[in-house]
Amino acid sequence: MDETKPIVHNTRKSAAKSKGPFKLVQVYGQKKTAVAVATCRRGHGNIRVNGRPLDLIQPSVLLSKAKEALLVLGEKYFNALDIKIHVKGGGQVAQIYAVRQAIAKSLIAYYHKFDSEATKRLLKDTLIKFDRSILVADPRRCEPKKFGGPGARSRFQKSYR
């Protein structure tokens, strides 16, 4: 009366082997000290930022800024993709700009790697025509404060009496 149960290995590694190779790309977007790392793969059109849907981004005033790539290119390029974004560093506005850049760059990288070069070129030209900073990182950084003054360049007021 000894019943043995079959051993089932349900690990991610074995599940991944059965499905075949993943089609994914990983890119990052930056603004000041904020860094957003985006992983783009085949899916159902879900875009998540730090585990939350894109529509729940706070502050909601900047939501349209994060969605610019979707609005400019149209939903048809995003419907078959899932994008997961992890963002850290910087402030709220810098994080939104980093997310915006990561979404655009992940789309370009995915279509470059797994689709035609013509589609990638069309997407890239459309985005650059709209706003170059959506694909190219801004190299400006805050200059550190020095001694002898309240900021990086300004000096304390001099008094003669």
Question: In the chain, where are the structural domains located?
Answer: 24-134
Q: Give the model's confidence band at 4: pLDDT under 50 very low, under 70 low, under 90 confident, else very high.
A: low
pLDDT the model gives residue 107: 93
Q: Give the model's confidence band at 14: pLDDT under 50 very low, under 70 low, under 90 confident, else very high.
A: very low
Which CATH code fits 24-134? 3.30.230.10
pLDDT the model gives residue 58: 84
**Among all chains, which residue has been given the structure tokens 């279509």?**
111
**CA–CA distance, 29 with 110 (Å, rounded to integer):** 15
Length of the chain: 161
Average pLDDT, integer, range 106-135: 92
Q: Give the model's confidence band at 16: pLDDT under 50 very low, under 70 low, under 90 confident, else very high.
A: very low
Average pLDDT, integer, range 114-122: 91
Question: Which is it for the CA torsion 110, 112, 113, 117, positive or negative?
Answer: positive
Percent of the chain with pLDDT over 90: 73
pLDDT the model gives residue 116: 87
- Mark 77-87 as b/e (b = at least 16 C-beta within 10 Å): bbeebbbbbbb
Average pLDDT, integer, range 67-72: 91
Residues 84-117: tens digit of each pLDDT: 999 999 999 999 999 999 999 999 999 999 988 9
- Token pair, residue 64, equals 């349209």
> Does pLDDT of 41 surpass 50?
yes
> Does pLDDT of 72 surpass 70?
yes
